[in-house]
A and B are shown apart, each in its own frame.
Chain A
Amino acid sequence: MSKISGLGHRLYTGQMSIDFIGRRKTWYIVSAVILLVSVGALFTRGLNLGIEFRGGADFAIPSASCSIEQARVVAEEGSGAQSIVTETGNGTIRVQTEALTPAESSVLAGDLASACGVAKDEIKVQVVGPTWGAEISKKALQGLVVFLLLVTIFLSIYFEWRMAVAALVALAHDLVITIGIYALTGLEVTPATVIGILTILGFSLYDTVVVFDKVRENTRGITGQSMLTYSDAANLAVNQTLVRSINTSVVALLPVVSIIVIGAGLLGAGTLLDLAVALAVGMAAGAYSSIFIATPFLAQLKNAQPEIKSLAARVAARRSQAARQSVTGEPASSAAASGRQQPKRPPRSRRAKS
């Protein structure tokens, strides 16, 4: 662990620096590919919506002594339509049918109970009308919009509008990837999944807020000097908070992973598992995006500002002058002293204007 502490130190002082902002094209391409795959999967495969969204009846038969085939025969006779019968791991058989009336579902639960040798009361039954899903989706969407509005206002006041925009771009990135994973894997989307996705909102922004706070600290009064460009200072901030970002992400993921392990091992499918899978994907994406997407995007937005632009020009001029001096053998003392701001990478002048 002390190695990581040392790493944290080198990242902090700039002895070691990963060029998150300069190589933003690489990250953008990586993200663009993932996003394309996600959106593509969403349109071609669609989401596997749970019965809460479609309407239907769901029976979970614990420690069932019947086979999947037997259960299917009973279910299709009882519901008069095709049924989906699966085994969820711990001996529980899950039967899903079209929407049934409460009376019909009660009869079918009884049939399944006698066919599978369990008491009727032991069967977990859920009957959902088709309007319910629309209601949940509407509410979730409302919540999303209201939250985004409020959080944009907050971030604009607390930071500035450019940071708010960058944070929201990262957030949208995380949401699309998470939904895309659901489309790709065909995992069922339930209300618990929706909870998980909505929770990502908070998480993704938490990470971004921590990084941006450092960016703001590093760039305070930056236009008053000519040693560092905004991109340099922002990149330093990402490097300085890198250990923090990794640690917070690992620590946030540990409980979620234990939910997945316990959920899959003990319970089979259910609220906990659905929630945790969405969270795990979203958190991982959130950790990635706050470092690789949010800050580079912010730097781009800032570089369009006139005063930041002229700062970049001043810094570029100063550096090319320093480079000429060092060629002639004179040590460029002032630039070298701030060695942490000059990580090993290709000459800056090439990139400074972009």
Chain B
Amino acid sequence: MAPPATTKPLRALVALAVIMLGLIAWAFWPGTDSTVRLGLDLQGGTQVILLPKPVTEGATITDEQLQQTVTIIRQRVDGLGVAEAEVTTQGSGAGAAIVVSVPGASQDRLVDLVQKTALLDFRPVYTISNPAPEAEASPSASASAAPSGSSGASPAASPAASASPSASPAPSASASASPSVSSSAVVGTTEHPQSAENSAEFQSQVATLDCTNPESYSGGTPDDPALWLGTCDQTGAVKYTLEPAFIKGTNVTGASAVLPQGGVGWVVSLEFDGEGAQALGDASTKLSALPDCGQGASPCNAFAIVLDGVVTSAPRFNEPILGGQAQIEGNFTAQEANDLANILKYGALPVTLEAVDITSVSPTVGSEQLRAGLLAGLLGLVLVMIYLIVYYRALGIVAMVSLILAAVISYLVFVVMSKSIGLTLTLAGVAGAIVAIGITADSFIVYFERIRDEIREGRTLRQACASGWIRARRTLLAADFVSLLAAVVLYLLSVGSVRGFAFVLGLTTVIDVLVAFWFTHPIVVLLGRAGWMQRGSRWTGLDPDRLGAPSVAGTIARQGRRREPKEEPQS
């Protein structure tokens, strides 16, 4: 069977032209974005790689939980208001990683945001106390750390401590004025104690907790909602003893920052599901009857919003809240209210996350890397072309055009994939493309050398182009298959930059095969039919005399090959 590409080279060329026109139309369709999306290492930004871990030891993470986590993080990151923020998963199951990429955002905000993607619960405050460690369990809370009343309207809770402006300067003052002067002598702990009972042992553990140590209030350790908890607020200003949770984060159905008409500042409006509303009603009825927190009052009337084991906010119940809707007041700025609403809304993740790799690149460095990458690619391309043309003459020009074509097709595919599946080109991807120049050119070399072999065996140019292709084709497909296999395995089993590289390498391998089959080979066949090539000028690169293919040598060579079918071995 003569392959169609040999007999009908024009058909292959037309097919390729149609594909290219299709790609061009898709890539540059008016009204759509026609650029290759660049990775953060090329345009600047921050990338955080997170490894999800199951909440309970030994459990496995389902794909569903992973997707849920991604959705929650995505909403959260979108809450930053940055365009083109991206949250993706890489891999699946136990080895999966979540990659959060935010162009241009400063590192601190993103990391904060991502690190707060943790367990959320609502706990009644049993008592609040001085942040410094104490020798014995004495709830010596200072008055200043207590909630300051706000003009709590209707079913509203007003925040204590952290959210209230009058509270924040106070605790430090009270700490120094606190009766427990011996506090500095006590070695504080940073672990948040948990206990099933409000036992004496638990109380003394809480007492030695040192909330002035940053490790105590940086969070990251999810708490067990069913147990008592001794912890700190997120600035280290107040220490809390908290009862078991009455609402879990999953009971929160909505939260938003609102600026009420005629209100003093921003408030956070909360909605709960049926279970949550019930629990809130019960808890608020019970708690609102209790005294204000502070002055040793325990239990008292505030509840704590606990995120990752640290108190984010501790509002006070002004009155029973029965409708399943609540507002948290306290002179919030718009940003504070938004952040709190985001935490409440998206706080409860089905998994815990560890930020294992945080990279931030400035836009200047990014564009420098891109420029260097492109420059290296261009230099590599030019060097390869020069080599091919010097060595293969006319065939070298065919190879050069083929390479340019492969580069153009690659670019078009990048644009189309940026659009359709959100491919982003990273520095590793650029490196993959540069390396692919060599692989693509290798295919042409294998083909051209085969043609030369055939001419050395005394075949005419025309025969050589066809029979050389049949032999080269097998080799090419086998060799490219190995490359593709490597790329696919790398892509499926790797994380981070390796994936970007593998994807580009695999893609360009396919493009290489496409170009070799539908461009290089048809063009060579057409050239083989041209008179000036057949006359064997030294510029063709296939000059029989120079290749040393006098009839004698060819005959000898053919003798050695009599064993195999002369034309078209089965492939």
A residues sitting closer than 8 Å to B (CB atoms) are 1-2, 4-6, 8-10, 12-13, 52, 60, 62, 101-103, 105-106, 109, 121-129, 131-132, 135-136, 138-140, 142-143, 146-147, 150-151, 154, 158, 191-192, 194-195, 198-199, 201-203, 205-206, 209-210, 213, 217, 220-222, 224-225, 240-241, 243-244, 247-248, 250-259, 261-263, 266-267, 270-272, 275-276, 279, 337-341
Known: A102-B108, A256-B434. 18 other contacts (CB 8 A): A1-B390, A4-B391, A62-B365, A102-B107, A102-B355, A124-B360, A127-B355, A135-B356, A143-B489, A192-B428, A198-B490, A199-B435, A199-B486, A205-B486, A206-B480, A209-B478, A217-B564, A220-B563
Residues of A within 8 A of B369 (CB): 267, 270-272
* Residue contact B365 to A60, C-beta cutoff 8 Å: yes
A-B contact pairs, 7 of them (CB 8 A): A8-B452, A102-B115, A135-B356, A136-B495, A224-B563, A256-B438, A272-B372
Q: Which of B97, B365, B381, B486 contacts A202, CB < 8 Å?
A: B486
Which secondary structure dominates where chain A touches chain B?
helix
How many angstroms from the CA of A316 to the CA of B144 in the assembled complex? 104
Question: A60-B365, A102-B355, A106-B107 known; A146 and B489 CB under 8 Å?
Answer: yes
Asked if residues B373 and A272 are in contact (CB atoms below 8 Å), the reply is yes
Q: Does B442 contact A (CB under 8 A)?
A: yes
**Distance of A201 Cα from B279 Cα, bound (Å):** 60
Contacts of B501 in A (CB 8 A): 195, 199, 275
Given A154, A217, A251, A266, which contacts B384 in the complex, CB threshold below 8 Å? A251
Give A121 Cβ to nearest chain B Cβ, in Å: 5
Assess whether A5 is in contact with B376, with CB atoms less than 8 Å apart. Answer: no
Task: Indicate which residue in B97, B480, B485, B487 contacts A151 across the interface (CB closer than 8 Å).
Answer: B485
Contact A251 to B559, CB < 8 A, known contacts A122-B362, A125-B107, A158-B478: no
Residues of A within 8 A of B354 (CB): 129, 131
Q: Mark B355-370, 1 if CB is under 8 A from A, else 0.
A: 1111111101100110
A133 to B62, CA, bound (A): 24
Assembled-state Cα–Cα distance A147/B505 (Å) = 15
Q: Quick check: B557 and A206 within 8 Å, CB to CB?
A: no
Place the interface of chain B in its size category: 35 or more
Give the complex CA separation of A252 and B437 in angstroms.
7
* Inter-chain contact B486/A62, CB cutoff 8 Å: no
Kindly supply a per-residue 1/0 record for chain B positions 452-489, scoring 1 wherever the CB is within 8 Å of any chain A CB and 0 otherwise.
11001000000000000001001100111111011101
Does B445 contact A251, Cβ atoms closer than 8 Å?
yes
A9–B435 CB distance below 8 A: no
Q: Give the shortest distance, in Å, between A214 (CB) and chain B (any CB).
A: 8
The answer to whether B439 has its CB under 8 Å from any CB of chain A is: yes
Contact between chains at B108 and A106 (CB < 8 Å): yes
Taking the closest CB of chain A, its distance from the CB of B471, in whole angstroms, is 7
Question: Is there contact, CB below 8 Å, between B373 and A191?
Answer: no
Tell yes or no: B18 within 8 A of A by CB.
no
Q: Which residues of B contact A340 (CB under 8 A)?
A: 556-557, 560
Q: A244 near B445 (CB under 8 angstroms)?
A: yes
Query: How many angstroms from the CA of A127 to the CA of B110 in the assembled complex?
Result: 13
Q: Is B274 an interface residue (CB 8 A)?
A: no
